[in-house]
């Protein structure tokens, strides 16, 4: 996931490294209730790099808060974290793969405990290494890269700038969810991913709502209902596809073909006798036997072709069934501004996207018809899974439309449906 302001960051990083004037490095004055200039949150695996940074910042007279030293023993991590953020002017996040996997889950799952703090505190994301998946709720922020030669100057400039002067700068405070429109979330992986056959559908946990969705989906029962719809595919669609059923069908097909060959040989002898010894054979009986042989031959040929194509069609078949189930699930989740999609049987892509504008477009387009709502629901069923995958991968299988849609900087759902209908018929 790339931050929205990555181009802006690239512009900053392309500028030559110029030493900052001494006045820039003067820490801002701490106000009432503030004890620190910055609270640093990091994973213990990044201890060495982070503490080297802390030493440099403290040598510039900045008051730093971090958990190893400043958390009060006997209190919960969340209580300590909330108080430390409240007592700090800014929040610095050291983003690494381990931080996103572990510590960010704690932050995101309990964001409500200190959201008020974050709304008033600038967040400074530091990308420790390229390719880190930036969490949804800070992906709109311009990040600093640790491997940038001018990193320290840029960081000091931000940390030494009073908060009231940061508005409109490269680092902005916490934003409402509307800014995440069109953003990809962490995908869901099937709980039975290991050993999953190509012809089987992945099973996804409907017990715990993922941390990333707890701040988005108000009615978490809708998420569980949607996941059960997806899990029903495995129960309803793969009963003819397990390995033992395939072996049985293969053996049955081979035996059937051998019997047919023997029977064909037998009937060939009868035909020969019919030709050379017609007085011993009834002509009408021969016609019935020839018709029977022909029917059995074509049935066997069809069975052989189906067996040969079966393996090739396995994954495509079950993915199509899962996509249809995901479309049904999206009729529920779209109300919570979440869409799901899949291109394999083991992974589901999730995107945060509002369809309110597209739904209104459907209502206006089909205003003269009674089924505008029904048309929108059908569009969700048939096209929302593919749309979610395109958004998650940031790639659409057609040229981007020249007209502006309902999704800033991207293709909205009604534009996607229009493009699909131009090349396909409504199913």
User: Does residue 16 belong to any structural domain of this protein?
Assistant: yes
- Whether the CB-CB separation of 37 and 198 falls below 8 Å is answered with no
pLDDT at residue 214 tops 50:
yes
- Write phi, then psi, for 164 (nearest 5 degrees): -65, -20
Q: Is residue 278 part of a domain?
A: no
pLDDT above 50 (res 300): yes
Rg, the chain, Cα only: 32
Ramachandran region, residue 16 (left: φ > 0; alpha: ψ -120 to 50; beta: rest):
beta
Question: Quick check: helix, strand or coil at residue 89?
Answer: strand
Considering only CA atoms, which of 242, 164, 148 is closest in space to residue 201?
242
Specify the pLDDT at position 370. Answer: 62
Position 26 confidence tier, pLDDT thresholds 50, 70, 90: confident
Q: How many domains does the chain have?
A: 1
pLDDT value at residue 13: 35
Alpha carbon separation from 124 to 59, 134, 169, 189, 329 (Å, rounded): 19, 12, 12, 30, 37
Is 133 among the domain residues? yes
Is 103 contained in some domain?
yes
Most confident of 1-15, 54-68, 159-173: 54-68
* pLDDT band at residue 175 using 50, 70 and 90 as cut-offs: very low
Q: What is the distance between the alpha carbons of residues 293 and 272, in angstroms, rounded to a whole number?
A: 15
Report the distance separating Cα 133 and Cα 212, nearest Å: 13
At 235-248, the pLDDT tens digits run 665 555 555 666 67
- pLDDT confidence of 194, banded at 50, 70, 90? confident
Mean pLDDT along residues 106-122: 58
- Burial of residue 217 (number of CB atoms within 10 Å: 0-12, 13-18, 19+): buried
Phi/psi of residue 351, nearest 5 degrees: -135, 150
| Percent of the chain whose predicted confidence (pLDDT) is above 90 | 24
Domain containing 124 equals 6-175
| Higher-confidence position of 250 and 404 | 404
Distance CA 137, CA 93 (A): 12
Question: What is the model's pLDDT at position 119?
Answer: 64
Tell me, yes or no, whether 163 lies in a domain.
yes
Is the per-residue pLDDT at 371 higher than 80?
no
Higher pLDDT, 19 or 204: 204
Cα angle 177-181-183, degrees, rounded to a multiple of 5: 105
- Indicate whether 204 belongs to any domain: no
Can you read off the two tokens belonging to residue 272? 């020969």
Percentage above 70 pLDDT, the chain: 65
Q: Is residue 246 part of a domain?
A: no
Taking phi first (over 0 means left), then psi (-120 to 50 degrees means alpha), and beta for anything else, what does residue 27 get? beta
172 — pLDDT class (breaks 50, 70, 90): very low
Q: Is 361 exposed, middle or buried (0-12, 13-18, 19+ CB in 10 A)?
A: buried
Q: In whole angstroms, what is the distance from residue 148 CA to residue 142 CA? A: 14
Residue 131 falls inside a structural domain? yes
pLDDT at 81: 81
Mean pLDDT of the chain: 76
**What is the DSSP secondary-structure string of 261-321?**
HHHHHHHHHHHHHHHH-GGGS-HHHHHHHHHHHHHHHHHHHHHHHHHHHHHHHHHHHHHHH
Tokens representing 351? 């995107």
Mean pLDDT of 28-49: 90
Task: Give mean pLDDT, residues 388-404.
Answer: 88
Q: What is the pLDDT of residue 104?
A: 59
Q: What is the CATH number of the domain that holds 149?
A: 3.40.50.10140
Report pLDDT digits (tens) over 306-362: 666 565 556 688 888 899 999 999 999 999 889 999 998 899 999 889 898 999 988
CA angle (16, 18, 19) in 5-degree steps: 155
What is the token pair recorded at 171?
């680092």
């Amino acid at each position: 996931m790339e931050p929205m302001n990555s181009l802006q960051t690239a512009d900053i990083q392309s500028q030559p490294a110029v030493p900052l004037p001494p006045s820039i490095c003067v820490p801002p004055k701490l106000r009432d209730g503030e004890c620190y200039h910055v609270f640093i949150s990091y994973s213990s695996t990044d201890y060495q790099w982070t503490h080297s940074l802390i030493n440099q910042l403290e040598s510039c007279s900045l008051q730093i808060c971090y958990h190893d030293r400043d958390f009060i023993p006997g209190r919960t991590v969340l209580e300590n974290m909330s108080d430390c953020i409240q007592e700090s002017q800014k929040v610095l996040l050291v983003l690494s793969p381990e931080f996103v996997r572990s510590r960010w889950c704690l932050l995101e799952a309990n964001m409500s405990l200190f959201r008020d703090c974050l709304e008033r505190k600038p967040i400074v994301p530091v990308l420790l290494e390229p390719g880190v998946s930036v969490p949804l709720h800070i992906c709109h922020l311009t990040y600093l890269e640790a491997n940038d030669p001018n990193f320290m100057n840029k960081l000091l400039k931000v940390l030494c700038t009073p908060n009231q002067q940061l508005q409109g700068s490269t680092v902005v405070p916490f934003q409402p969810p509307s800014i995440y429109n069109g953003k990809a979330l962490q995908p869901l992986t099937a709980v039975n991913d290991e050993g999953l056959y190509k012809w089987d559908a992945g099973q996804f946990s409907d017990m715990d709502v993922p941390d990333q969705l707890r701040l988005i989906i108000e009615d978490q029962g809708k998420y569980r209902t949607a996941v059960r719809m997806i899990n029903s595919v495995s129960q309803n669609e793969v009963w003819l596809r397990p390995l033992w059923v395939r072996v049985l069908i293969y053996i049955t097909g081979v035996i059937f073909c051998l019997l047919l060959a023997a029977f064909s040989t037998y009937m060939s002898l009868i035909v020969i006798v019919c030709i050379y010894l017609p007085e011993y054979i009834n002509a009408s009986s021969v016609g019935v036997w020839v018709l029977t042989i022909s029917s059995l031959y074509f049935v066997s040929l069809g069975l052989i072709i189906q067996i040969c194509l079966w393996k090739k069609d396995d994954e495509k078949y079950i993915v199509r069934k899962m996509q249809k189930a995901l479309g049904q699930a999206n009729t529920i989740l779209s109300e919570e501004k979440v869409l799901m999609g899949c291109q394999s049987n083991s992974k589901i892509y999730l995107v945060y996207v509002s369809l309110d504008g597209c739904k209104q477009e459907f209502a206006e387009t089909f205003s003269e018809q009674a089924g505008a709502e029904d048309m929108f629901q059908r569009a969700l069923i048939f096209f929302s899974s593919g749309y979610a995958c395109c958004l998650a991968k940031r790639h659409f299988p057609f040229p981007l439309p020249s007209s502006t849609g309902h999704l800033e900087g991207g293709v909205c759902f009604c534009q996607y449906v229009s493009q699909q209908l131009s090349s396909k018929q409504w199913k």
